[in-house]
Amino acid sequence: MVHLRVVAPAAKAQTVHGLLCATRSAINVIRVPGASTNPSGDLIMCDVAREDASVIISELRDLGLLHDGSIALSTTDVLSDFAVAAEKHAPGSPADAVIWEELDQRTSESVELSAVFLLYMTLAAIIAAIGIFLNSPILVVGAMVVGPEFGPVAGLCVALVQLRGGLARRSATALLVGFPLAIAVTVVATLLLDAADVVPDTFSSDDHSLSKSISSPDAFTFIVALCAGAAGMLSLSTAKSGALIGVLISVTTIPAAANIGIAAAYGDWQTFAGSTGQLAVNLAAILVAGTTTLYVQRLLYLRRKRRRHG
């Protein structure tokens, strides 16, 4: 269940308390008059079935509590027959429910263009480049896990579904700066390693199976990226977040960027073009699948909201 802690000004406290008491999927409704001083008002708490959490929060926001009060939420376990009954009044599975406010928080935190984000991008690209040179799938997979690029892609999906221009701009900026920087760092690192005689004087994708695979996008590339995009969005928007690591290691975005950098450093423009196509296809497919998945979830949420008011 989801625990809600609401601070409501005295003029709205009775309305908020009545709304929660009338919600059959909410239990443990507690009101403490005058308990809060900043902001001032009554403290009202309850536990609500996860499936109805966003609907209830939406109604609280409509009362203007974001401006003259506050709403806090956290996931909690409630052991009670009342909790079982409350969840029965909220059709669906708790694991499948989307708490949109929680999703907004997750994506907002992961789309910022920060020094840490750029450092992860460059470190992931260097690890992937070394994996390509050594034909080491383990290093390439490790680079996929380190890469933080799924956050801004997910942010773009959320922005498209919720029509949030600010979030779209921040997400796109992170991608448009992060990938070119990762590629540029890979080019410089490759040239330095070449000057230090650590890597071969020549490089051909024919002699490096991973590079050849990365620079040869095909129909399976698109299908895998579509599946990963849908799975990634589901992992972020529902309680099944453990699937996210599987998504991160299934799509070759960071390795494609690293391969672009290696190819540019060696002047292998055929591999450069193929890897660029791989990167573009993967990002586009993830974006399409993630947005579609989130849009369907949004439609289901709006239908649940209409039923409650109907």
Query: From CA 170, how far away is CA 235, in angstroms rounded?
Result: 22
Query: pLDDT value at position 83?
Result: 92
Confidence of residue 103 (pLDDT cuts 50, 70, 90): confident
Residue type, position 216, single letter:
S
User: Does residue 210 register a pLDDT over 90?
Assistant: no
| pTM (predicted TM-score) | 0.83
Residue 3 sits at φ, ψ, to 5 deg, of -90, 125
Query: From CA 281, how far away is CA 210, in angstroms rounded?
Result: 18
CB 161 within 8 A of CB 298: yes
CB 32 within 8 A of CB 42: yes
Confidence of residue 239 (pLDDT cuts 50, 70, 90): low
Confidence of residue 240 (pLDDT cuts 50, 70, 90): low
Query: From CA 232, how far away is CA 218, in angstroms rounded?
Result: 21
Query: From CA 253, how far away is CA 249, in angstroms rounded?
Result: 10
| Tens-place pLDDT, residues 24-67 | 999 999 999 999 999 999 999 999 999 899 999 999 999 999 99
